[in-house]
């Protein structure tokens, strides 16, 4: 073996070592591609007047796949929050439509207080304690049993969602039975660390959505 051959072999071996080192560096330092794992939702504390949602949606960075499209990644409420809000709206209307002539206003409001904000519960308490209303219910021995069905979502805001809910009522008044129904727009909003019914009114009256 002559000197030139030895130099060529040493040079070739050196190039192999350098290329191997570069390959290791690129493998370790290069960012992962095509990672489709869900992003974590950042936590935030709701403050009155905050312009953004309490739970900002994580968004979608990858190409949209119609067969595996997670719409909740684009909405300000998670699947669980939507379910909780819908359950609140339905139970609230059912409780609102249920009352008896022989119960106190406090007992009536007590069934609603865990579902509604403090301000709304207080307003309902004042309405239920109206002397003329109490007198009529006692005189006619009114008994009302309510139920409710969710119809659809009307509006989704950063920190609130409005459901259209139909309340149904079976009424006994003066010994006669009747039934009826009415649709309400029920706003469920974030209230501190929980969701509560913030406002409601007849569906055809319209209603502002976001509370923040």
- What is the set of domains in the chain, with CATH numbers? 78-205 (3.10.450.230)
Answer whether residue 105 shows pLDDT above 60.
Answer: yes
b vs e for 47-80, b when ≥16 Cβ sit within 10 Å of the residue's Cβ? eeeeeebbbebbebeeeeeeeeeeeeeebbbeee
pLDDT digits (tens, 9 = 90+) for 110-148: 999 899 999 999 999 999 999 999 999 999 999 999 999
User: What was the pLDDT predicted at 70?
Assistant: 86
What does the pLDDT average to over 93-104?
95
Answer whether residue 26 shows pLDDT above 50.
Answer: no
Higher pLDDT pick, 202 / 207 = 202
Confidence at 57, pLDDT banded by 50, 70, 90:
confident
Least confident of 40-44, 58-62, 122-126: 40-44
Please name every residue paired with 195 in a beta bridge, in sequence order, or none if there are none.
Answer: 190
Confidence at 206, pLDDT banded by 50, 70, 90:
low
User: What was the pLDDT predicted at 137?
Assistant: 95
**Alpha carbon of 135 to those of 6, 24, 144, 173, 203: distances in Å?**
113, 86, 15, 13, 29
Confidence at 54, pLDDT banded by 50, 70, 90:
low
- What is the rounded distance in angstroms from the CA atom of residue 66 to the CA atom of residue 69? 5
Answer whether residue 154 shows pLDDT above 60.
Answer: yes
């Amino acid at each position: 073996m002559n000197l030139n051959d030895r130099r060529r072999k040493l040079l070739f071996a050196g190039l192999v070592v350098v290329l191997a080192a570069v390959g290791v560096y690129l493998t370790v330092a290069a960012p992962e591609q095509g990672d489709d794992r869900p992003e974590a939702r950042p936590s935030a504390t709701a403050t009155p007047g905050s312009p953004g949602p309490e739970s900002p949606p994580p968004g979608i960075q990858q190409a949209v796949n119609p067969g595996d499209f997670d719409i909740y990644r684009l909405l300000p409420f998670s699947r669980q929050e939507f379910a909780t809000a819908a359950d609140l709206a339905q139970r609230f209307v059912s409780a609102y439509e249920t009352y008896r002539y022989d119960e106190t206003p406090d007992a009536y409001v007590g069934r609603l207080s865990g579902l509604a904000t403090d301000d709304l519960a207080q307003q309902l308490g004042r309405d239920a304690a109206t002397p003329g209303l109490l007198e009529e219910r006692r005189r006619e021995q009114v008994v009302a049993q309510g139920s409710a069905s969710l119809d659809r979502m009307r509006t989704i805001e950063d920190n609130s969602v409005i459901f259209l809910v139909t309340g149904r009522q079976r009424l006994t008044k003066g010994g006669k039975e009747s039934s009826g129904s009415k649709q309400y727009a029920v706003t469920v909003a974030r209230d501190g660390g929980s969701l509560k019914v913030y406002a409601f009114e007849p569906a055809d009256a319209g209603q502002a959505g976001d509370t923040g």
